[in-house]
Amino acid sequence: MTSPLDQATIDLLGVLAYGELTAFERLASDARLAPSLGDKHELATMAAAEFEHYRRLHDHLVASGVDPKEAMAPFVGPLDGFHDSTPPNDWLEGLIKAYVGDGLATDFYREVAAFVTDPPTRDLVLEALADTGQASFAVGKVREATAADPALAGRLALWARRLVGEALIQAQRVAVERDALTELLVGGSGDLAGIGRLLARLTDNHTARMQALGLQH
Amino acid sequence: MTSPLDQATIDLLGVLAYGELTAFERLASDARLAPSLGDKHELATMAAAEFEHYRRLHDHLVASGVDPKEAMAPFVGPLDGFHDSTPPNDWLEGLIKAYVGDGLATDFYREVAAFVTDPPTRDLVLEALADTGQASFAVGKVREATAADPALAGRLALWARRLVGEALIQAQRVAVERDALTELLVGGSGDLAGIGRLLARLTDNHTARMQALGLQH
């Protein structure tokens, strides 16, 4: 069966599906660090929502005649690399990783999704990117913790900066290896100046998230 | 709001809910050990099914006017104790833990559920105990691995024995601390001879699972 999807779209669905699957695993693992049953419940609920996104992307690939394992395979190295290089040391680092890391990924995927030509795929991707509740939960918990212990803020701000650095390293790897995906992005934004503006938008959103956490002024 | 549920039933729902929540966390974490994307998919799917069971037990407690956090709290120590004392060293140990550990727990809960007097609660408990697919998946993978490397069987059989030992230690803790739950069980089976027969049934089922795995003859 030939797929109606082009290689760039398959790549996008593959990286998104494996991203959701690893997000699921990591959030569920981090639930073990939760200081209370209520916090554990919140994190496990978010993890389950990520799995539901994964399942829909997976099923969409199957329905489009694409083997999800093949679509995800090129992104296992970069995404595992990101997670292996950034294991959270405690509950707060885990929350920040969920919020900052997933926020950055979500912004990026949303930019790319705009260039997807297959309408059902575009709708599904945008749906998979819907916030699962990390945002307000993480912001509330981090602000509470830094209010109680202001010295925490410095360490957590450094942690967030490290997350962004590691994410950029892995994104670079993907860009070099996946021509179709990179083309979709460069083609979509028209020129290299467009890429520059895209990076500026990603950076602005990241700064807004750091401000929401109270970790940047 | 007073709950229509008695303490024994609340205890049962509490231990079952926290059991599903920890099973979810552990299966999702163990998915990281999966040797292939297909295996990871299977394990993550099972984990998500456990979460769905948890969510329904949680919601049933809320609808019955019981705070799920309070219902689960007495069982956090024993269940975390079991999991902390039995971290799987590899993918196969994780699979056996999912199969043998959850099998044992499921048998036990099913016995207790028979004595629950509230029909909607009993139906929900039996539903939460439905096999999520661990059984045939784990059996297939373990048999495949021991066929390829027969020396594995000894180590894996010892691992399964250790799991049962640790589970009994924690079950003992629960029995001592939770009078209502223990009463439900002793009262339900009528007498201590009934408890003996119950333990015999649990042991028989465990032996059947070990035979299915090819780890006992």
Mean of pLDDT over chain B: 86
How confident is the model over B139-171, as pLDDT tens digits? 899 999 999 999 999 999 999 989 988 888 888
Within chain B, where are the H helices?
A: 7-30, 37-63, 68-85, 91-96, 102-113, 119-128, 134-148, 152-177, 179-188, 192-213
Contact between A24 and B28 using a beta-carbon 8 Å cutoff? yes
Average pLDDT over residues A127-151: 83
The yes-or-no verdict on residue B36 having pLDDT over 90 is: yes
Percent of chain A clearing pLDDT 70 (strictly above): 94
Task: Identify which of A59-73, A78-92, B10-24, B117-131 has the greatest average pLDDT.
Answer: A59-73
* Chain A contact present for B193, CB below 8 A: no
On chain A, the residues whose CB falls within 8 A of the CB of B76 are: 37
Average the pLDDT over A88-95 and give the result. Answer: 91
Is the pLDDT reported for residue A217 higher than 60? no
Instruction: Give pLDDT, residue A44.
Output: 92
What pLDDT is attached to residue B153?
A: 92
**A189 pLDDT higher than 70:** no
Q: What is the pLDDT of residues A112-132, one digit of tens each?
A: 787 788 888 888 888 877 766
The predicted complex's ipTM stands at 0.82
Q: Are B80 and B19 in contact (CB under 8 A)?
A: no
Q: How many CB pairs under 8 A join A and B?
A: 66
* Average pLDDT score over residue span A60-82: 94
Grade residue A100 by pLDDT with cuts at 50, 70 and 90.
Answer: confident
- pTM (2 d.p.): 0.85
How far lies A19's CA from each of A14, A73, A75, B112, in Å? 8, 11, 8, 40
Locate B105 and state its tokens: 């727990």
pLDDT of B156 reads 93
Residue from B26, B33, B40 to probe the interface with A (highest A Cβ count within 10 Å): B40
Taking the Cβ of residue A197 and every Cβ of chain B, the question of whether any pair is shorter than 8 Å is answered with: no
Q: Mean pLDDT across the stretch B65-85?
A: 94
State residue B133's pLDDT score.
65
- Nearest residue of A to residue B14, measured between CA atoms: A37
Contact call for B44 and A37, based on CB within 8 A: no
Determine which of A161-170, B21-30, B124-133 has the lowest per-residue pLDDT on average.
B124-133
pLDDT at B74 over 90: yes
pLDDT of A37 above 90:
yes
Contact A41 B73 (CB under 8 A): no
Contact check, Cβ <8 Å, B21/A28: no
Contact, B113 vs B12, CB < 8 A? yes
In this structure, what token pair is assigned to residue B41?
């998919």
What is the distance between the alpha carbons of residues A19 and A102, in angstroms, rounded to a whole number?
9
Asked if A47 and B44 come within 8 Å (Cβ–Cβ), the reply is no
The shortest C-alpha distance from A29 to chain B (Å) reads 5
Place of tokens 């661990």: B134
Q: Flag whether residue B195 sits within 8 Å of chain A, measured between CB atoms.
A: no
